[in-house]
Structure 1
Amino acid sequence: MHTVDTGGQKVPLLNDPAKRSMLYQVGVVLMVAALGYYLMSNTLTNLERQAIATGFGFLEKESSFEIGETPIPYSAADSYARALLVGVLNTLKVSFVGIVLTVILGALIGIARLSTNWLVSRLAAIYIEVFQDIPVLLQLFFWYAFFYEMLPSPRQAFNPIAGLFLCNRGLMIALPAEHPVWGWMGWVFVGACGLVYLMRRWAIQRLFKTGKTFPIFWSSVALLMGLPILVWLLGGAPMAMNLPELRGFNFQGGMSVSPEFAALLLGLVLYTAAFVAEIVRAGIQSVNKGQTEAAKALGLKPGRVLSLVILPQALRVIIPPLTSQMLNLTKNSSLAVAIGYPDFVSVANTTINQTGQAIEGVALIMTVYLCLSLLTSAFMNWYNKKMALVER
């Protein structure tokens, strides 16, 4: 085959770089497609030979197994789809709470690492070195053994204050008894958070325009606490409590945090926070010292220097690696199967063992974690663009 170049001279097709590159790409795509077809057909043939059903029809069948922690109503008579949904919600619960606590703890440790107080700085450095160098799975085993071996039985549970019990069955906390006012208070608190956000933006703009400060902290406290309390008073000020009580071999009532959930959360947070602390330290140190000196020269207090000058600039450096640590925490939550917490991987493994449909089960696990990672990355990329400096 020949082609014609711009000068009208015929040249071999393989000597044309653009056409040759296209041919190579088409060839690679055909090879990958052929390999995929071979693997798929071979797998289906082997499954048919062993009389193993394929497809996702098993999701509608009765699961016939119980799950220890269920954020939504569930029983063994429910379908595999509902059981897997419980696993997804458990994974989301530990991942969301873990990410929030990790960011808070990591930021505090990272700032402490730069403290001028020698003791505070050394303690932060020791924390980072210790928790970074111990594998997260070993930390999960340690905390799991701590809850089951070092804490007393329910009958000898620690009871530091009324309505709070700590034992090897977990942490039991008293809750307010059911009443409609609590739901209204929750919605009012969410609205107060929005008002605090808008007030903070207004206060910062006011500071830059006029140089006048506004008591953001105390005003925020007044809104976040005052509005829900006002709703509580208008709703009749209910005082009834749902207290945990020892019945038989365990506590009933209130809210309980299982040892498995607590061990998983502690292990993931303490491990990941050590890496987040180093990210925060590096981000703060990336800001030119002249920025801090200029802010102090203007009379800003250290807290305002950190929140108004240093952190907004450091976030441009902090956010990208922080996103990776958030993804690592979510993916490391799959280690929950080692300590018996019913996350998605644990429930999916039980489903695979009962149905024998390993390919579909593993595909579901991969899909769920892929979606969680993509959603986290999308949110953090949006936030990163929002925090980027806009050139004039």
Structure 2
Amino acid sequence: MKTSSAESVSLVRLIYDVRVRAILYQILAVVGVVAIGWYLFSNMSDKLARQSIATGFGFLSREAGFTISQAFIEYRPSDTYGRALLVGIVNTLWVSFFGCILATLIGTIVGILRLSSNPLLRLLMLAYVEALRNVPLLLYLFLWYAIIVAVLPGARDALNPLPGIYLSNGGLYVPNLAWSGAHAGVLVALALGIAAAMRIAGTMRRRRIETGRERAVWPFVLAAIALPTLLAFLVLRPDTTIDWPSVGRFRMAGGLHLTPEFTALLVGLSLSASAAVAEIVRSGIQSVAKGQWEAARAMGLHEGATMRLVVLPQALRVIVPPMTSTYLSLVKNSSLAIAIGYPDLVMVANTTMNQTGQAIEAIAIFMMVYLGLSLAISAFMNWYNARVAIKER
């Protein structure tokens, strides 16, 4: 009897233990979500079966039979729906990647100029930010597309803003390097070299803090990046022939052709996101106390060194978290490409579901792709934020 009472008391204590209850609640929540999902899936499958609608992902191996206007990997209409969706994914990644880079570069410059001592320049940057932040992105996509198609000259009179780069109503033409497996190997070696250089720089920084001895870091960083890349280049010997675009009699010849839809989408996404980046950079810089600026000037640092060595390391802890949201928004806003006809993932998936009738599977695919991209960006930015965060001693 006493043993039974003691076991009851132990069981009650176990149930009311905070850690046990926290784990128990999580298990119950997961079981509930799985049960609801299974019920919805079973109900959907039953309804579709009654209407003789095919389900499953077997359609991915069937012939697509439609063309894609812009494909950065090899694609033919005789390829499968799976290959077509892969083209859409690559197209989305391509425009999102370069959009993030351009938005960061333009936004950083605009954000710094927003703090200029020149009132006219400051006012112009303010007008830039407000004009882009307060007009829907979709309208700007229509505007940039109309400008490219209706305002820019034809191929014979194409604009040549930079050597090897042409812009006309047919789109953007840039130098092209035929990609191969050897180039991918060199790129992997470069990535490994950059990772090694970051590790070496971090180790030498910690030793400098521990010992107080200053030592040049750049030779070791340069060697860590250059040696693996050079070795891979010598071993793999990739073809480095560049196909340069040129103006023909009736159309452009050579190079990589980026359609008006891609160009308009890239410009629209980059400029729209750059306005948000500019405000993030401005607020991050202004979050650094004025005493830090004054101390740097008192030590004889010029403005560039003050910004690079004193202000930005402290501003990054304010800048990085909202930048993550900006990048996520840019990637998800790329789905507006369907409005101007750029064949991103959503447009290819819509064509697929219209031809196969399997809308649920197609929607599930691009939902999972966008979820995966968002989680990958968040993980990378959280890792970077942890590295640049100022750590207390």
TM-score for the superposition, normalised by structure 2: 0.79
Per-residue CA shift, 1:164-216, capped at 9, x if unaligned? 43211112234579999999997897788679868987998899899999999
**CA 1:206–1:168 in 2, change beyond 3 Å: closer, same or farther?**
farther
Distance 1:206 1:318 in 2: 28
Amino acid at match of 1:340: G
**CA 1:355–1:201 in 2, change beyond 3 Å: closer, same or farther?**
same
Point out where structure 2 has 5 or more consecutive residues left out of the alignment. Answer: 13-17, 234-238
Amino acid at match of 2:40: L
Shift of 1:31: 6.6
What residue in structure 1 maps to residue 364 of structure 2?
A: 363
**CA 1:179–1:266 in 2, change beyond 3 Å: closer, same or farther?**
closer
Shift of 1:5: 11
Distance 1:166 1:145 in 2: 14
Per-residue CA shift, 1:313-338, capped at 9, x if unaligned? 11011111110001000000011111
What residue in structure 1 maps to residue 253 of structure 2?
A: 252
Distance 1:63 1:155 in 2: 36
**CA 1:153–1:62 in 2, change beyond 3 Å: closer, same or farther?**
same
What residue in structure 2 maps to residue 389 of structure 1?
A: 390
Shift of 1:250: 3.3
**CA 1:280–1:159 in 2, change beyond 3 Å: closer, same or farther?**
closer
User: 1:246–1:252: 8 Å Cα contact kept in structure 2?
Assistant: yes
Distance 1:22 1:205 in 2: 39
Work out the percentage of aligned pairs sharing the same amino acid: 47
1:93 aligns with 2:82: no
Q: How does 1:102-117 map to 2 (within 5 A)?
A: 102-117=103-118
What residue in structure 2 maps to residue 267 of structure 1?
A: 268
User: 2:156–2:249: 8 Å Cα contact kept in structure 1?
Assistant: no
What residue in structure 2 maps to residue 158 of structure 1?
A: 159
Distance 1:210 1:22 in 2: 46
**CA 1:196–1:386 in 2, change beyond 3 Å: closer, same or farther?**
closer
User: 2:158–2:247: 8 Å Cα contact kept in structure 1?
Assistant: no
Distance 1:207 1:33 in 2: 52
What residue in structure 1 maps to residue 137 of structure 2?
A: 136
1:345 aligns with 2:360: no
Shift of 1:49: 2.1
**CA 1:116–1:196 in 2, change beyond 3 Å: closer, same or farther?**
farther
Q: Which moved more, 1:239-248 or 1:254-263?
A: 239-248
Distance 2:304 2:266 in 1: 30
Point out where structure 1 has 5 or more consecutive residues left out of the alignment. Answer: 12-16, 233-237
Aligned CA RMSD, in angstroms, stands at: 4.6
Distance 2:337 2:133 in 1: 19
**CA 1:90–1:246 in 2, change beyond 3 Å: closer, same or farther?**
same
What residue in structure 2 maps to residue 51 of structure 1?
A: 52
What residue in structure 2 maps to residue 14 of structure 1?
A: none
What residue in structure 2 maps to residue 64 of structure 1?
A: 65
Distance 1:154 1:88 in 2: 30
Amino acid at match of 1:134: V
Amino acid at match of 1:389: I
Distance 1:18 1:390 in 2: 30
Distance 1:303 1:338 in 2: 43
SS at match of 1:65: coil
Per-residue CA shift, 1:75-114, capped at 9, x if unaligned? 0111111111111111111111111111111111111111
**CA 1:271–1:195 in 2, change beyond 3 Å: closer, same or farther?**
same
**CA 1:243–1:355 in 2, change beyond 3 Å: closer, same or farther?**
same
**CA 1:298–1:20 in 2, change beyond 3 Å: closer, same or farther?**
closer
Q: Which moved more, 1:176-185 or 1:38-47?
A: 176-185
TM-score for the superposition, normalised by structure 1: 0.79
**CA 1:285–1:363 in 2, change beyond 3 Å: closer, same or farther?**
same
**CA 1:369–1:177 in 2, change beyond 3 Å: closer, same or farther?**
closer
What residue in structure 2 maps to residue 83 of structure 1?
A: 84
Q: Which moved more, 1:318-327 or 1:66-75?
A: 66-75
Per-residue CA shift, 1:251-285, capped at 9, x if unaligned? 23112222111110111111111111111111111
What residue in structure 1 maps to residue 123 of structure 2?
A: 122
Distance 1:74 1:321 in 2: 37
Distance 1:34 1:184 in 2: 45
Q: Which moved more, 1:252-261 or 1:309-318?
A: 252-261
SS at match of 1:74: coil
Amino acid at match of 1:120: L
Count of matched residue positions in the alignment of Structure 1 and Structure 2? 377
